[in-house]
Amino acid sequence: MKGGVITERDAEYCTIRTRIPAGIISVDQLRGIADIAEKYGIADIHLTTRQTIEIPHMDPARLDSISGDLAGNNTPIGSERDEVVNIISCPGKERCVFANIDTISLAKTLDGKVFGKEMPVKMRISISGCPNACTSPMLNEIGIIGRIEPLRAEGTCTGCGTCVEYCKESAITIKRGNSVIDPAKCVQCGTCVRSCPFDLLKSSGEHYLIMVGGRRGRHPKLGRELITVTTPEAAISVVQAVINWVYRRAWSGRLLSEQMDELRFEKFRDEIREQVPVSAMVEKKAEAGL
């Protein structure tokens, strides 16, 4: 009954979904999965949208054996049902030039704390290193987006306009030789900070925007903003609080996105904001210029 064992269209067979947090797998582990698949006569494996690997067409009578083999390969059977399923993330600061946070480390830490927890509803967690949102965090039950707020020391801007050219939101203009931001348009992606040729724009530090209640599927819905925090530790604590809230309050048989109002999300958001230290919380964007 583990969630990572999925009955196929032909009910004589099942698919085995593995646990690979953030889709990061070593060369030896990848080779091991290939060897395991071949051992059981499987010619093809499937790379899933949740950054894991599935081994299809397995005989259910051999589940105990393949489970042991996968565990020995450090790619054990994963989750798919009403559980916390494989946590996905973009490459983050390890490789991506747009990333604002270390997504891989965060995903692996969260995996160790909440993966596979039995829940009343399926819980998908997605982490994106920036507002480009390549992993669609706003379309998951829990989404985390890395952001930074651009800052400029007064009197240092040359007015060259490079940040204006790079800003995809048209949130920056040059006025009287200085760059000025429209906070209503800025998504805190950090592109302007990285684009400044004179290194005059600085970052206020990494932020973690946490969203709750999104979904994909036939009726996609954006998640709701819960809180923005300044440290990975605070982000992990908030995610654990969300997991506990859903575990205690949600009903089975319906997606989390369909229950948000009944679960009194606004009240929960206020409770979370009261629990997080002020030093670890971001209330709002900058009010004026860069």
**Domain parsing of the chain, residue ranges:** 5-72, 88-282
Residue 2 — pLDDT band, cuts 50, 70, 90? low
Q: Which of 208, 194, 186 has its CA nearest to residue 287?
A: 186
Answer whether CATH 3.30.70.3340 is correct for domain 5-72: yes
- pLDDT, residue 163, reads 93
Tell me the percentage of the chain whose pLDDT exceeds 90.
Answer: 83
**Over residues 165-188, mean pLDDT:** 92
Q: Which residue has the higher pLDDT, 212 or 181?
A: 212
**Over residues 248-272, mean pLDDT:** 95
What dotted CATH number matches 88-282? Answer: 3.30.413.10
pLDDT tens digits along 9-26: 999 999 999 999 999 999
**Over residues 24-50, mean pLDDT:** 97
Q: CA distances (Å), 154 to each of 93, 150, 169, 200, in order?
A: 29, 13, 23, 10
Between CA 246 and CA 256 the distance in angstroms is 8
Tell me the percentage of the chain whose pLDDT exceeds 70.
Answer: 97
Q: Which residue has the higher pLDDT, 290 or 170?
A: 170
pTM here is 0.93
